[in-house]
Amino acid sequence: LNVFVPHIISHFTSFYFSSTSTITWYRDRVISQSPHSSLNRFCWKLHTSTQNINMAEGYDPKRSRVSDSTLADFLRAPLTGDLQEVPGIGKAAEEKLRTGNDYDEEPITNTYQLIGKFLMLKGPDEDGIKVESIEHVEKFWHWLKNRGISSYRSGIVRSIAEKVDHMMPGVYEKDVYGDDSDEE
């Protein structure tokens, strides 16, 4: 337990806490992997202490302003490479991706590179632990934010994640977010 708890602490501190469901999912995953009651208490305390974090920030497919028909058209169509073919990417977002910034100087000039960046974020974390679907889309959402993309982030993430999932099933697990028809 003394070895396991520091690992969990470091994993929690590097994880993007962007929604209550993400925290709850992660807490429940840790608890199910270890029956130690002290670890359960630790996870619960961490869960309750993170309730004050800004829960509105982060990926939520229900906040996507991309219509279902626009998303369906994008998913059916072959990729052309034009960044603006991605629902949610307009001229301003394209320019921000093309120019880079202090956070990431590498320019993204086409859809293939954007998908490549999405897939790079799926790689193992610093500790060699597999990046699960929720953490993966969170990382991509925050990467877009740090690149200066201020509008349609959730729509862009959802569009890219679902497109990649069509090409490589299992990359994006949209079922973990519940039914899209649920209203909050």
The band of 64, judged by pLDDT with boundaries at 50, 70 and 90, is confident
Query: Using CA atoms, how far apart are residues 1 and 179, in angstroms rounded to an integer?
Result: 37
Q: List Cβ<8 Å contacts ≥24 apart for 70-79.
A: 71/158, 71/159, 71/162, 74/159, 74/163, 75/162, 75/163, 75/166, 79/111, 79/112, 79/115, 79/163
What is the rounded distance in angstroms from the CA atom of residue 93 to the CA atom of residue 29?
Answer: 35
List pLDDT tens digits, range 69-94.
Answer: 999 999 999 999 999 999 999 999 99
Query: pTM above the 0.85 mark?
Result: no
- Give the list of residues 6+ apart from residue 177 with CB closer than 8 angstroms, or none: 21, 60, 61, 62
